[in-house]
Amino acid sequence: MAAGGLKTYSVTFLPDNKTVEAIKGKSLFEAAVAAGVMITNVCGGDGVCGKCRVTVKSGRVKASPTMFLSREEIQRGVALACQTFVDGDAVVEVPVDSRARVGRQQATEDAIRFGRVSDHVGEGKAFRHSPLARKECLTLPPPSSQDNISDQERLFRELRRSAEIPIMQMGLPVLRRLPALFRHSHWQVTALLGWRGGATEVVDVEPGQTCALNYGVAVDMGTTTVVAHLVDLGTSETLATKAKYNSQARFGEDIITRIMYSSTPTRRTEMRELLVGDINELITGLISDAGIKPHDITYVTCAGNTTMTHFLFELDPNQIRRDPYVPVALLPPVVRAAEVGITVSARGLLAALPSVSSYVGGDVVADVLVSGMTQSQDVSLLIDMGTNGELVLGNSDWLMCCSASAGPAFEGGGITCGMRATNGALERISLRAGGHVEQFEVVGKGKPVGICGSGLIDLVGELLRVGCIDRTGSFLPEACDGHFRVGESGDREFLLFKHEETALGSEIFLTEADIRNLIHTKGSIYMAAETLLDEVGMTFGDLEHVYIAGGFGNYLRVDRAIAIGLLPDIPHETYEFIGNGSVQGAKMAMLSEEAMAYIRDRIAGSMTAIELSTHHKYMNGYSATLFLPHTDIEKFPSVVAEQANGASTEQGREKPLAIANRPSR
Amino acid sequence: MAAGGLKTYSVTFLPDNKTVEAIKGKSLFEAAVAAGVMITNVCGGDGVCGKCRVTVKSGRVKASPTMFLSREEIQRGVALACQTFVDGDAVVEVPVDSRARVGRQQATEDAIRFGRVSDHVGEGKAFRHSPLARKECLTLPPPSSQDNISDQERLFRELRRSAEIPIMQMGLPVLRRLPALFRHSHWQVTALLGWRGGATEVVDVEPGQTCALNYGVAVDMGTTTVVAHLVDLGTSETLATKAKYNSQARFGEDIITRIMYSSTPTRRTEMRELLVGDINELITGLISDAGIKPHDITYVTCAGNTTMTHFLFELDPNQIRRDPYVPVALLPPVVRAAEVGITVSARGLLAALPSVSSYVGGDVVADVLVSGMTQSQDVSLLIDMGTNGELVLGNSDWLMCCSASAGPAFEGGGITCGMRATNGALERISLRAGGHVEQFEVVGKGKPVGICGSGLIDLVGELLRVGCIDRTGSFLPEACDGHFRVGESGDREFLLFKHEETALGSEIFLTEADIRNLIHTKGSIYMAAETLLDEVGMTFGDLEHVYIAGGFGNYLRVDRAIAIGLLPDIPHETYEFIGNGSVQGAKMAMLSEEAMAYIRDRIAGSMTAIELSTHHKYMNGYSATLFLPHTDIEKFPSVVAEQANGASTEQGREKPLAIANRPSR
């Protein structure tokens, strides 16, 4: 049991039945990571989110005190994995709702959903097909005494017959292969040209004619989900799509927690390897589905928020979270994919979409490209609701953007019974008077496990409509027909589903704190939009289009989002869902050097980033948004009209809650 | 004694007393290489040059028959190392004149000589100081909320304050270091910018102000000698110089033998490692002399013939020697010096000077730069007499060049008692009637060991003048007062120094075959010059300048070179020695991006290479040059005049020897 003087113990995790040796004093969370068991957490192990509940079935542990557990739970052996430490051999059960959910089946379903929506949006619009990696099949004239230029120049000359390439590079490994290659292939070769920013690289040269085999992978590096599309670079066809959860989530569901974790070079290597491991797993699945070889994948483009891009290249993200929020690089170099560990062709290239600032990344830049908003004089607003919220306002002449620090409420973070939009998630609900459930829908059918973002919006909107909460988000117990209670720790709660009505036998309920979290999230997004418009002297009525991006957007019901004040009260036809703009934009960039240059120069390069946390208008207006839908109900005429038509439970104007401005970032 | 089933034996080499285990059947030559004992050879181990004589003192060997050894020698144990094979433990003595001579002392002497001559020539002339690696000491403004661009962009912005840099690259390893580096150094950093062909790379970033520490190494990769200069890139000052013999010589003194040896990837790796080992040894000496650190050497430029440049980058040179003589690359990429194994700064760059064709390399291009011939309307001829001979004709408007396949006679190759111009070499001699030695000079003083190039030219010129040979190079025995003899194998020989008059107790003599070799060498150079001029309708009288380059040029006496017909009979003041133009040109290129661009575009890029081996004029005229000085004596009026003044031994015009055209290439 002794290793290097330190006591180690066996810790077994159920139901996986995975055992790991852990040094005395390690947290159960760290032991679980070492065992490959993914426990959900939002706070990165600080003991403040209460998400990583486990049950110690037997053995010795030491636990720090926590307010997240009741006396009864502690007696049953329930513990927070990040606050409980190994002190002997132990057996620990990880309940279903504490597990970071990863599954191929679900991932594939996600990919299909993402794909379905984004098919409607202007993929490749207006950009000439000129992929970042292109193959040229060449028949070189054999040398003669009249034409005995070098092998390198012979290749360059032939490549320049079709187009002038000002700066052509070729590495020694390829140059060294030329003489034998040319002569053995009888001067029939295929050259692979790769985009290297300003220069073109002869990435590889192969014998024979292999032009038909040229594939690329576009990746959306989401904080929560990693999505990859396999593309035929010759035909632009998408051959396969895959998605999986971001394995970095074990070190925090939100990006700030992950940045805090990444404080040492070793940990940054670990974070890169987790992300790249996910990308490689997706690529393995994609090539298996499409029946191609990794060698024939010649280019990879990745879009993600600025921090995810830092993780990909193993750049230190720590200044991103510290005032004045400075990234290492917004436009990282084009490198060989192998340099970060991505397993495609050994000489294949990797480019990340450029970011705009520490909190507006390549994913948003990709959204803008996909939306087409920069190709029209119409003023459009784009809202990307991921784990964080980003907004872009503008048209073909100007672009402004900001990050709204929405927080992870829409993905289950900070919500007692919250979860991501996976199997078992309540995604849609209607209530009737008294707060009784009338109708509901669960992702994957069956009994519910928890509440995902769209379900939360529906639920709060319905509670408001039927009068169970007031416009501050406080419960009105007399209107909650038996659903209201005060919990053990004094929390005011609304019981939605009893033990026997849920998939896992755990009650599903909503607390006032949950509602406050949602209100902060929707308020920050709404206020960010209003602030951006105000910067250019416009109002919501001036918007011709509002584009909603992000996986979340696929499930969102516009009327409910307006009812709670998340989205402005403008005609529903103004709204357009672009789905996963990040992966679509990464794909468009990969298929067109023009699009890549456009992204760099016309989108990322010309976008003005507004910092909301120090913005006077935002600071002043934010508290007014912490009402349902808003302090000023006149901003939401359709809500007023609905209340006039239905059973109004309006309680009049009340003081909003005073909340710190940058709640979760 | 058994290793892997193969019998191995111990072979000891004297006087080094180095012992090596050799597999049965290995040649003594290969065993010597393995032991680190360098045995001279010209033919690359084919048993046709007879240079690699050793004495087997004891033990068992098997020898192939050879005509190079007399019965008496064989009885004494003398053997050719390349034709004698291990068949038991053995002790082998390597005599002094079979050793490939390498010594620091000599190398330093050479460097001084090269330096002395080239100081007179237009170093840096007309080119702005803009070194390929330059350091910028920067004080970056710390980020603020008004100025929170990325660390990368902060650096780029500051670098662009002084000059617009269109394409700026930075590798991940440097990018990863920026955040900690900037903050720990309190925003005082030094950026190293490196020339990468079309783009500029931020090669490295260091804390503090290190601008004063920025050095480069310029290398002449000669077939015989490798020369390196250490340069302060900031001040352009040459801090130290070193030279050493090219260790590849163990695989052939001439370049073609080395190409033939380099038939497999393993052998090409070996050849690169030998060359790079030499360069690294020189660099070690340079930094020791100058008291600097390898880390502060940021750029290396190398000039060499096309094959040497192939060896440096481990490119397959085999097509160079095969019709139609195609190199892999004339302009290899700029790479990190570490990529070929050169031990300077880990991120330091390496550039080779571009070649023109398979037989006109970067060394000649460097000569042209140094001569300044392209910066004047005067028509100049440049002759580089290395192991091969290259010629360039032209002015500021046009340039033509050719390679003259001179052969290694001037460096001791193919001459029975020939040697390089090192200690013990007879470099100057005068004879009196009867062929008796009147005066002579030996490199390093003392008794002679052998005859080097300038000594050979003197000797043959004097033999002709005093009438010991006729104009075909045949001995006239009646005029050789006791010096003439017919050797054991029937060779006609002229005995110059007896056993007791030489340093090593071996006779020094000259054979008719030696004279024929010299005649072919001088004839090919003379005829190449005449052919180049004829191509543009000019004659020797039109030349304003003749530049002589190469280490050899330092010892050459113009009047003797004219007397034997090596150089045309034009006024002596037309001749100018530029010494080692190769290393000087490499240095000028390293000190100026402008010079590097000029070399590439104006010199290498605009030079027309003439192929002599298929040239009608050359083929027809060549045989006429195989006379001393020429079939047409009227071409050498000063020789006619000298003969008229002195004791003429003119035998009238005789038929020249019929010799194959491309003798030694």
Which tens digit of pLDDT belongs to each residue from B593-608?
999 999 999 999 999 9
Nearest to B514 by CA among B550, B560, B463, B467: B463
Q: How far is it, in rounded angstroms, from Cα B297 to Cα B228?
A: 13
Q: How far is it, in rounded angstroms, from Cα B440 to Cα B427?
A: 8
Q: What is the ipTM of this complex?
A: 0.79
Q: What would the pLDDT profile of B134-181 be if each residue is shown by its tens digit?
A: 999 999 999 998 999 999 999 999 999 978 887 789 999 999 999 999
Q: What would the pLDDT profile of A471-510 be if each residue is shown by its tens digit?
A: 999 999 999 999 999 988 889 999 999 999 998 888 999 9
Q: What is the pLDDT of residue B265?
A: 97
Q: What is the pLDDT of residue B551?
A: 60
Sheet of B199-207: strands edge to edge? Answer: B133-139, B188-196, B199-207, B168-170
SS3 B461: helix
Within an 8 Å CB–CB cutoff, is residue A143 touching chain B? Answer: yes
Tell how far CA B641 is from the center of its chain: 36
- Of all residues in chain B, the one with the smallest CA distance to A265 is B176
For domain A2-98, which CATH number applies: 3.30.310.50, 1.10.10.10, 3.10.20.30, 3.50.50.60?
3.10.20.30
Q: What is the pLDDT of residue B7?
A: 86
Q: What would the pLDDT profile of B52-100 be if each residue is shown by its tens digit?
A: 888 898 898 988 877 778 777 888 888 888 889 999 999 998 876 676 5
Q: Which residues of chain B does A318 touch, with a Cβ-Cβ cutoff of 8 Å?
A: 179
Token couple for A413: 């973070």
Within an 8 Å CB–CB cutoff, is residue B151 touching chain A? Answer: yes
Let me know: does B446 contact B473? Beta carbons within 8 Å. no
Q: What is the pLDDT of residue B15?
A: 82
How many separate helices (H) and strands (E) can be counted in chain A?
Answer: 17, 28
Q: Which residues of chain A does B323 touch, with a Cβ-Cβ cutoff of 8 Å?
A: 145
Within an 8 Å CB–CB cutoff, is residue B266 touching chain A? Answer: no
Nearest to B345 by CA among B299, B281, B283, B313: B299
- Classify burial at A657, counting beta carbons within 10 Å of its beta carbon; exposed 0-12, middle 13-18, buried 19 or more: middle
Contact A166 B332 (CB under 8 A): no
Token couple for A164: 């002038």
Let me know: does A97 contact A447? Beta carbons within 8 Å. no
- Of all residues in chain B, the one with the smallest CA distance to A148 is B326
Q: What is the pLDDT of residue B372?
A: 94
Per-residue pLDDT for B665 more than 50?
A: no
Q: What is the pLDDT of residue A514?
A: 94
Nearest beta carbon to residue B324 from set A145, A151, A332: A145
Q: What would the pLDDT profile of A35-52 be if each residue is shown by its tens digit?
A: 877 776 655 566 656 778
- Report the relative pairing of strands A215-221 and A380-385 from DSSP bridges: unpaired
Instruction: Assess whether the previous peptide bond of A332 is cis (omega < 30° from 0).
Output: no
Within an 8 Å CB–CB cutoff, is residue B21 touching chain A? Answer: no
Q: What is the pLDDT of residue B211?
A: 95
Tell me the average pLDDT across A550-571.
83
Q: Which residues of chain A does B359 touch, with a Cβ-Cβ cutoff of 8 Å?
A: none
- Report the relative pairing of strands B484-486 and B492-497 from DSSP bridges: antiparallel
- Rounded to the nearest angstrom, the minimum Cα separation between A388 and chain B is 20
- Of all residues in chain B, the one with the smallest CA distance to A168 is B198
Domain locations in chain B as residue ranges:
8-98, 133-207
Q: What would the pLDDT profile of A109-157 be if each residue is shown by its tens digit?
A: 333 333 333 333 343 357 999 999 999 999 999 999 899 999 999 999 9
Q: What is the pLDDT of residue A260?
A: 95
Q: What is the pLDDT of residue A41?
A: 63
Contact B151 A329 (CB under 8 A): yes
For the ranges A281-290, A452-461, A646-655, the lowest mean pLDDT is seen at: A646-655
- Rounded to the nearest angstrom, the minimum Cα separation between B325 and chain A is 7
Contact B329 A175 (CB under 8 A): yes
For domain B133-207, which CATH number applies: 3.30.9.10, 3.10.20.880, 1.10.3720.10, 3.40.50.11540?
3.10.20.880
Per-residue pLDDT for B122 more than 60?
A: no
- Report the relative pairing of strands A389-394 and A380-385 from DSSP bridges: antiparallel
Name the CATH topology of A104-119+215-362: Nucleotidyltransferase; domain 5 (3.30.420)
pLDDT band of residue A166 (cuts 50, 70, 90) is: confident
CATH code assigned to A364-406+521-645: 3.30.420.40
Q: How many CA atoms lie within 13 A of B226 on its CB side?
A: 27
pLDDT band of residue B658 (cuts 50, 70, 90) is: very low
How much is the mean pLDDT over chain A? 87
- Classify burial at B485, counting beta carbons within 10 Å of its beta carbon; exposed 0-12, middle 13-18, buried 19 or more: middle
Contact B145 A319 (CB under 8 A): no
Q: What is the pLDDT of residue A1?
A: 42
Contact A324 B148 (CB under 8 A): yes
What CATH homologous superfamily does B8-98 map to? Beta-grasp domain (3.10.20.30)
Sheet of A225-232: strands edge to edge? Answer: A238-245, A225-232, A215-221, A297-304, A349-352, A335-336
Tell me the average pLDDT across A627-645.
89
Q: What would the pLDDT profile of B212-238 be if each residue is shown by its tens digit?
A: 999 999 999 999 889 999 999 999 999
Nearest to B454 by CA among B187, B209, B113, B198: B113
Per-residue pLDDT for B538 more than 90?
A: yes
Tell me the average pLDDT across B450-460.
91
DSSP letter assigned to residue B289: H
Best-predicted range by mean pLDDT among A23-32, A413-422, A476-485? A476-485
Let me know: does A3 contact A17? Beta carbons within 8 Å. no
Q: What is the pLDDT of residue B166?
A: 78
Per-residue pLDDT for B582 more than 90?
A: yes
Q: How far is it, in rounded angstroms, from Cα B460 to Cα B519?
A: 10
Contact B198 A611 (CB under 8 A): no
- Rounded to the nearest angstrom, the minimum Cα separation between B328 and chain A is 5
Per-residue pLDDT for B119 more than 50?
A: no
Tell how far CA B361 is from the center of its chain: 11
Q: Do domains B8-98 and B133-207 have the same CATH topology?
A: yes
Nearest beta carbon to residue A143 from set B326, B330, B339: B326
Q: Which residues of chain B does A180 touch, with a Cβ-Cβ cutoff of 8 Å?
A: 316
Q: Which residues of chain B does A184 touch, with a Cβ-Cβ cutoff of 8 Å?
A: none
Contact A313 B169 (CB under 8 A): no
- Rounded to the nearest angstrom, the minimum Cα separation between A228 and chain B is 24
Q: How far is it, in rounded angstroms, from Cα B664 to Cα B482?
A: 33
Let me know: does A27 contact A82? Beta carbons within 8 Å. yes
Q: What would the pLDDT profile of B100-116 be if each residue is shown by its tens digit?
A: 543 323 333 333 333 33
N residues, chain A: 665
Contact B176 A314 (CB under 8 A): yes
Q: What is the pLDDT of residue A553?
A: 47
Buried b (16+ CB within 10 A) or exposed e, A366-400: bbbbbbbbbeeeebbbbbbbbbbbbbbbbbeeebb
Tell me the average pLDDT across A516-524.
93
SS3 A146: coil
Q: What is the pLDDT of residue A646?
A: 60
For the ranges A494-498, B333-337, B453-457, B547-551, the lowest mean pLDDT is seen at: B547-551
Q: Which residues of chain B does A153 touch, with a Cβ-Cβ cutoff of 8 Å?
A: 329-331
Q: What is the pLDDT of residue B573?
A: 92
Place of tokens 């507004």: A610
Q: What is the pLDDT of residue A366?
A: 97
Contact B148 A339 (CB under 8 A): no
Pairs of CB atoms within 8 A across A/B: 138
Q: Which residues of chain B does A171 touch, with a Cβ-Cβ cutoff of 8 Å?
A: 333, 335
Residue A162 CB neighbours (<10 A): 9
A371 Cβ contact list (under 8 Å, min separation 6): A121, A122, A380, A382, A545, A547, A549, A576, A578, A581
Residue B650 CB neighbours (<10 A): 13
For the ranges A181-190, A339-348, A403-412, the lowest mean pLDDT is seen at: A403-412
Let me know: does B230 contact B250? Beta carbons within 8 Å. no
Contact B324 A153 (CB under 8 A): no
Per-residue pLDDT for B562 more than 70?
A: yes
- Of all residues in chain A, the one with the smallest CA distance to B145 is A324
Nearest beta carbon to residue B172 from set A199, A324, A335: A335
Let me know: does B217 contact B286? Beta carbons within 8 Å. yes
- Of all residues in chain B, the one with the smallest CA distance to A330 is B150
- Rounded to the nearest angstrom, the minimum Cα separation between A268 and chain B is 11
B148 Cβ contact list (under 8 Å, min separation 6): A324, A325, A326, A357, A358
Q: What is the pLDDT of residue A116?
A: 30
Helical pair A362-371 and A306-313, crossing angle rounded to 10 deg = 120
Please tell me chain A's helix, strand, coil percentages from 3-state DSSP, rounded to the nearest 5: 35, 25, 35
Q: How far is it, in rounded angstroms, from Cα B605 to Cα B371?
A: 17
Q: CA separation (Å) from B392 to B355, B375, B388?
A: 13, 14, 14
